[in-house]
Structure formats: C-alpha cells, structure tokens
Amino acid sequence: MYCLQCLLPVLLIPKPTNPALMETHVMFIVLYLVGFFLERKPCTICSLVFLTAVSLICYSGIGNCIFWGNCEGHQCENG
C-alpha cells in the first residue's frame, strides 16, 4: 500500500471558492492522476481503494466531489 502515499493527499487539496478557477482545478487534478497512473503504475489494490474513496466522497453529497463544484443542479456561470 505504498502507492497510496501519493494518491490520498489528492483528496485533501481544497477546491477553489471562485467558480472561475474550478476548471483549472479539475484540469490539474485530472492531469496529476493521469500522470501518476502512467508514471508510477500503482498496484490494483491501491487503485481500487483510491477509486472507491473518490466515488464515496462524490456520492456523499453535492459539492463534495473533487471533480466538480457545488452549482446545485445548474451549470456554473464563469463571470
């Protein structure tokens, strides 16, 4: 489970409060995760634990997911 040392801090990165910066945040998280999985090639158990944690966080409520903001069912306005 050494692989999780670099994956779990991704869940602790705070989301920006400004909706205009949300796209940049999502792009950073996605690129970091893709780069991590391509470079480090974590084991299957670590990958499943991380994906389960992300899905549980996203499923737990609106605004909790690291991949989108809390726009309450409508698209965020950038401006």
**Which domain, by its residues, includes 41?**
24-59
Task: Please check whether residue 36 lies inside any domain of the structure.
Answer: yes
Task: Please check whether residue 47 lies inside any domain of the structure.
Answer: yes
Task: Please check whether residue 15 lies inside any domain of the structure.
Answer: no
How far is Cα 76 from Cα 62, in angstroms, rounded to an integer?
Answer: 14
Would you say the pTM of this structure is higher than 0.75? no
Residue 35 is predicted with a pLDDT of 92
Q: Is 55 within 8 Å of 66 (Cβ atoms)?
A: no
pLDDT per residue as tens digits for the range 42-73 = 889 988 988 898 888 888 876 667 666 555 54
Indicate the SS3 state at residue 73.
Answer: coil
Task: Please check whether residue 52 lies inside any domain of the structure.
Answer: yes
Residue 4 predicted with pLDDT over 70: yes
Q: What token pair was written down for 50?
A: 């991380």
**Three state DSSP letters for 43-64:** CHHHHHHHHHHHHHHHHHCCCC
Report how many domains make up the chain. 1
Q: What token pair was written down for 34?
A: 């893709």
